[in-house]
Structure 1
Amino acid sequence: MTAQPPEPFPRPVHPGDLRASHDDREAVVEQLRDAAAEGRIDFDELDARLEQALKSKTHAELAVLTADLPRVESAESRPPLVLKGGLHGASRGPGRWEVPGRVIAHGGMGGVKVDFTRAECRLTEVAVEAYGETAGVTIVIPDGWVADTGGMDPGFGGLTDKTTPDRLAGTPLIRLTGSGGIAGVVIRHPNRWERRKMHSNPTQDR
C-alpha cells in the first residue's frame, strides 16, 4: 500500500473572520443608535452604518462600524450582583438599577429582597442564585417576565413560585437556581401594596 501523506492541520481562523450572529449584529445596531442619540454620529451616517451592520457577515466587518466609538460595557460582562442578608437584611430595588447577567442572594439572618420591577434589563436571560438560609429570599419580577425554577433545590424552607407563564416579547427569562435553605425562597410578581406604590410614584429612582 502506498502511504498517504499526512493531512494538513486546519488553518487557524482569525477572531475577526468568525461569522457574526443575529445577536452580534443587533448589539452593534443598538450601540450605533445610542451613539447617534448622544450626538457622536449624525443621522445620515447612522443610516449608512445600520445598513452595513445588517449586511455584515463577520466580526471584523462589524468592528469597523464601531471602531471610532467608545467601548460600551455589556451587562453580560459586568460582575455579578451579590446580596448578603447578614444580620440586618439587604435589598436591591425597587428603584432604577441596571441588571447584570448574574445575581446572587444569600438570605442570611436578615433576609434579602431583589425587586426587578423598575430595573433596566437589556438581557434575554438573567441567572439568579438564591439561598434562603435562615431568613429567606424574596424575588419580585414585573408582569410579563417569566421564571424558570427547574434548577432550584427547595431545601427545608421550600420554593414558592407565584409567577405566571405569560411572557411578553422582549422581556428576560429569570433562570432561578440555588436552595431554599431553612426559610425558603419566594419568587412572585408585585403585590397590591407594591403596585399601589408604583402608581403613586411612577418616576421613583434608585
Structure 2
Amino acid sequence: MTVEPPEPSPRPASPAPLRASHDDREAVVEQLRDAAAEGRIDLDELGERVEKALQSRTLDELAVLTADLPQPESPGSRPPLVLKGGMSGASRGPARWEVPGHVIAHGGLGGVKIDFTRTECRLKEVTVEAYGETSGVTIVIPDGWAVETGGTDPGFGGFKDETTPDRLPGTPLIRLTGSGGMGGVTIRHPNRRECRKLA
C-alpha cells in the first residue's frame, strides 16, 4: 500500500505594504531638507530624494530614503514641559516653540500663560494639566484646534472653555485636565489684540 505524502500547507500571504499619506511624505521631505542643511546630503541628492519621496506610495518606499540618516526624536517621547507661575508668573509662546505630548502648568502666585498660536505641532493629541492655584492659568490655541475638557475640576476659581468645537483636519486635540483652584483656568482662541500681533 502506497502512502501519499501530505500536501504542503499553503504559505501565509505576506501582509500588504502600508500606504503612505500626504503627512508621511511631507515628514520625510522635511527630514531630508534638515539633513541637507546639516551637510549630510548634497543638494543634488536632496532633489533626487525629495522627488522620490513625493512619488512614494508606501511607507516602505519612504523608509528607504531616510534609512542612512539619523532618525528625528518623536515629539511625543519628550519629557513633559512644566511651567510654574511662582511669584512673578511664567509663560510659553507666542514665539515658536516645540510642543511635547504633555504640558503641566501650575498657576502659583504669578499665573501662567501657554500660547500655542505660533507652534507647528505634528502630534495628534497634547495633554495639558492645568492647576489654577492662586493666580490662574490661561491657554490660547489657534482657531481650528479643538479641546476636550472632560478631565477638569472647576475648583473655586472655575473653568472657562471659550473655544469653538470646529476642528480642522491635521490639527491636534488638546486634552485638558487639572483643577481651577482659586485662580481658575481659561482656554480660548486668540483675542483681537493677539490676532493683530499674529498678522
TM-score (structure 2 length as normaliser)? 0.77
Residues 87, 108 of structure 1: 8 Å contact kept: yes
Q: Percent identity?
A: 63
Partner of residue 32, structure 2: 36
Q: Structure 1 198/62 Cα, relative in aligned 2: closer, same or farther at 3 Å?
A: closer
The C-alpha deviation readout for 1:2-57, integer Å capped at 9, x for no partner, is: xxxxxxxxxxxxxxxx998778x7776344312433433433334445655x4347
Residues 32, 50 of structure 1: 8 Å contact kept: no
Residues 146, 167 of structure 1: 8 Å contact kept: yes
Whether 1:55 and 2:58 are equivalent positions in the alignment is yes
> How many angstroms apart in 1 are the aligned matches of 2:62 and 2:24?
7
What amino acid is aligned across from residue 196 of structure 1 in structure 2?
R
Q: Which runs of 5+ in 2 are unaligned?
A: 1-14
- Paired positions, count: 178
Q: Structure 1 174/67 Cα, relative in aligned 2: closer, same or farther at 3 Å?
A: same
The C-alpha deviation readout for 1:158-180, integer Å capped at 9, x for no partner, is: 11010000111211111100111
Partner of residue 150, structure 1: 150
> How many angstroms apart in 2 are the aligned matches of 1:138 and 1:183?
10
Residues 138, 187 of structure 1: 8 Å contact kept: yes
What amino acid is aligned across from residue 43 of structure 1 in structure 2?
G
> How many angstroms apart in 2 are the aligned matches of 1:49 and 1:86?
48
SS at match of 2:77: coil
Specify which of 39, 46, 49 is matched with residue 45 of structure 1.
Answer: 49
What amino acid is aligned across from residue 34 of structure 1 in structure 2?
E
Residues 94, 116 of structure 1: 8 Å contact kept: yes
Q: Structure 1 189/22 Cα, relative in aligned 2: closer, same or farther at 3 Å?
A: farther
What amino acid is aligned across from residue 28 of structure 2 in structure 1?
L
> How many angstroms apart in 2 are the aligned matches of 1:43 and 1:21?
25
> How many angstroms apart in 2 are the aligned matches of 1:159 and 1:150?
11
Alpha-carbon distance, 1:154 to partner: 1.0
Instruction: Spell out the pairing of 1:1-206 with structure 2 (5 A cutoff).
Output: 29-38=25-34, 39=36, 40=41, 41-48=45-52, 54-56=57-59, 64-199=64-199
> How many angstroms apart in 1 are the aligned matches of 2:84 and 2:70?
34
Q: Structure 1 120/45 Cα, relative in aligned 2: closer, same or farther at 3 Å?
A: closer
> How many angstroms apart in 2 are the aligned matches of 1:127 and 1:62?
30
Alpha-carbon distance, 1:97 to partner: 1.0
TM-score (structure 1 length as normaliser)? 0.75
Question: How big is the alpha-carbon RMSD for the aligned residues of Structure 1 and Structure 2?
Answer: 2.6
Displacement over 2 Å in runs of 4+: 18-23, 25-32, 35-52, 54-57, 61-67, 196-199
SS at match of 2:32: helix
What amino acid is aligned across from residue 159 of structure 1 in structure 2?
F
